[in-house]
């Protein structure tokens, strides 16, 4: 299992770098979501011919769906 370093969040101490397992990193990404963007430009002789902008949202359905409203049970 791979282990990677994760930059500290605002809740962590300013210098708190700690190793994080790949599974924990994937869990954090799916819980909060992440947007990946990129641009591709095809050019010949410094003339832009084609430009493609890409955006991808990676998140779990639970992170994107609003929470279900609480229901009140009424006893007869």
Residue bearing the bigger pLDDT, 13 or 30: 30
What's residue 41's pLDDT? 93
Residue bearing the bigger pLDDT, 32 or 15: 32
Over the stretch 26-67, which tens digit does the pLDDT of each residue have? 888 888 888 889 999 999 998 999 999 999 988 777 766 777
Longest dimension (CA), the chain: 79
B/e letters for 18-43, b = 16+ CB within 10 Å, e = fewer, are: eeeeeeeeeeeeeeeeeeeeeeeeee
What's residue 5's pLDDT? 52
């Amino acid at each position: 299992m791979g282990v990677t370093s994760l930059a500290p969040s605002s809740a962590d101490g300013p210098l708190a770098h700690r190793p994080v397992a790949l599974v924990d990193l994937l869990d954090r990404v799916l819980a909060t979501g992440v947007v990946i963007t990129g641009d591709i430009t095809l050019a010949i002789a410094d003339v832009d011919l084609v430009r493609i902008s890409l955006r991808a949202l990676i998140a779990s359905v639970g992170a994107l769906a609003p929470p279900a409203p609480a229901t009140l049970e009424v006893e007869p």
